[in-house]
Structure 1
Amino acid sequence: MAIISNTVGYMDGDVQLEAFFAFDDSVSGRRPAVLINHTWAGRDEFVAEKARKLAGLGYVGFAVDMYGKGILGSGPEENARLMQPLMDDRAMLQKRMQAALYAVKLLPWVDDAKIAAIGFCFGGLCVLDLARTGADIKGVVSFHGLLGAPDNTQSNAIKAKVLALHGHDDPLAPPEQVLAFEQEMTAAGTDWQLHAYGHTMHAFTNPVANYPDSGMVYQPVAERRSWQAMQNFLAELFL
């Protein structure tokens, strides 16, 4: 196995973006690609490591950039400042996701008929919104994602299969939002699943999350189970 990684520039209108990608050079031919959407902190080492892990599973891992080349948050206040414009303008967020989808299809190692997307926290919302646009991709996986629906996708048919991996005690996705999400997916005719992990808060996949007062705590058992659930889901998608 020889994991190769690099960055690639792409554009959303006049905004310059830079993705990180990884693939196994010992695998011949085109293979499925998995977009990876970052948390509110930006396209950092957390998602780069996920890209390399996905490369080891035989996929092209493509860590999306939602903020702009070289832009990373330095802490909660700046992270929120970077994320909020995209939360306030979901059409802009969706357009940026479409730009990433277009960019990954240009990579020579990618089978552009076999693309999925995963995302963490804010990134979970991003991949769910990509599915909500009706994008022609195989499936999306949200890890402790924000579940609230935008106001511009209600009439769209969701082609992607959807897997939401959720901490039951996540204050950023309370039970009423989970129920609304389930109702939304059902009404759209979506092939959807939601796995809820008991005694688990927000950010359960992030080893540095230890903020119980804010409801953000790493949970290694839920992290392991959710990653395995994602692997099973991707294997089914790409049969």
Structure 2
Amino acid sequence: MAQPAIDSHEVRYTSPEGTTLVGHLALPKETNGTVPGIIVCPEWWGLTPYPKQRAEELAAQGYAALAIDVYGDGKVTDQASQANEWMSDLLANQDLLMQRAKAGLDFLAAQAEVDASRMAAIGFCFGGKIALDMAREGYDLKGVVSFHGNLSPKLPAKAGQVKAELLIEHGAEDSMVSMQSLEQFRQEMDAAQVRYHVDVYPGAKHGFTNPVADDRARLNGIDLGFNAQAAEQSGQAMLAFFKRIFK
């Protein structure tokens, strides 16, 4: 069966402090009324083809999706040292990071095709942290999905503040986000009475959803790895999650 037709293109929007952000907007061509909106928060590499592809896959499922830019000017790299520098700059100013993420959320919510009362966020690695911190900040999200995400909070979740339900897709062999980090995350969410679910994939490393993870690992000497089975299963878990929360 052919995938539904989509429209996708580059968009420019501005963060509150004046930085031009370059996103990738993907929309289903045919909709009956408005559809839920999902922002896609990229890995530390920036807005590479991978988050754009994930946005387009969501559009093919009938959602409006925006792969966001948090570095400005759509900057990308395949060098871990450069990615780490850009990420570290934002981790040193997490209020700015949240402002830039929210600028993407607001831009998507304002699109004519989007039902602004049904919004969600997904994220990969660094983007997983961004999406989870948006939930912790109390942004108006129905759900958040983190794939091999950094689980450490900007500020721990507070009871009554998190509106989103959370889905955590984690690799058992992730050497960058330990099982201890996952346990601390569970304790944080339990204390704040947040609705969440965790899936742990045996044998899956950091970056397990991204087909170029092995190439990036070789290029940079870091412990990443694509896992086709975990990628497929986590993608299906995400779609089932969205089907349920957007009823």
Q: TM-score, normalised by structure 2?
A: 0.92
Structure 2's unaligned 5+ residue stretches are: none
**Structure 1 counterpart of 2:76:** 72
Do the aligned partners of 1:32 and 1:60 also contact (CA within 8 Å) in 2? yes
**Structure 2 counterpart of 1:137:** 141
**Structure 1 counterpart of 2:203:** 199
Deviation at 1:226, TM superposition (A): 0.2
Deviation at 1:77, TM superposition (A): 1.3
Q: Deviations over 1:29-53 (max 9, x none)?
A: 2100110011111112101111111
Matched, 1:51 2:59: no
Q: Deviations over 1:55-89 (max 9, x none)?
A: 11000111011111231124111111111111222
The alignment of Structure 1 onto Structure 2 pairs a total of residues equal to 239
What is the alpha-carbon distance in structure 2 between the residues aligned to residue 59 and residue 3 of structure 1? 10
Deviation at 1:185, TM superposition (A): 0.8
Deviation at 1:156, TM superposition (A): 6.3
What is the alpha-carbon distance in structure 1 between the residues aligned to residue 51 and residue 198 of structure 2? 22
Runs of 4+ off more than 6 Å: none
How much is the aligned-residue C-alpha RMSD, in angstroms? 1.5
Deviation at 1:105, TM superposition (A): 1.1
Do the aligned partners of 2:136 and 2:156 also contact (CA within 8 Å) in 1? no
Distance 1:9 1:192, change over 3 A: same
SS in 2 for 1:118: strand
Q: TM-score, normalised by structure 1?
A: 0.95
> Which among 15, 21, 38 is matched to residue 17 of structure 1?
21
What is the alpha-carbon distance in structure 2 between the residues aligned to residue 3 and residue 30 of structure 1? 15
Deviation at 1:153, TM superposition (A): 5.3
What is the alpha-carbon distance in structure 2 between the residues aligned to residue 82 and residue 156 of structure 1? 32
Matched ranges for 1:1-239 at <5 A? 1-12=4-15, 13-151=17-155, 154=158, 157-210=161-214, 211=217, 214-239=222-247
Do the aligned partners of 2:22 and 2:68 also contact (CA within 8 Å) in 1? yes
Deviation at 1:97, TM superposition (A): 1.5
Do the aligned partners of 2:65 and 2:108 also contact (CA within 8 Å) in 1? no
Structure 1's unaligned 5+ residue stretches are: none
What is the alpha-carbon distance in structure 2 between the residues aligned to residue 70 and residue 117 of structure 1? 19
- Aligned residue identity for 2:228: P
Distance 1:70 1:39, change over 3 A: same
What is the alpha-carbon distance in structure 2 between the residues aligned to residue 2 and residue 218 of structure 1? 28
Distance 1:155 1:237, change over 3 A: closer
Q: Deviations over 1:151-191 (max 9, x none)?
A: 37556611100001000111111122111100111111111
Do the aligned partners of 1:91 and 1:152 also contact (CA within 8 Å) in 2? no
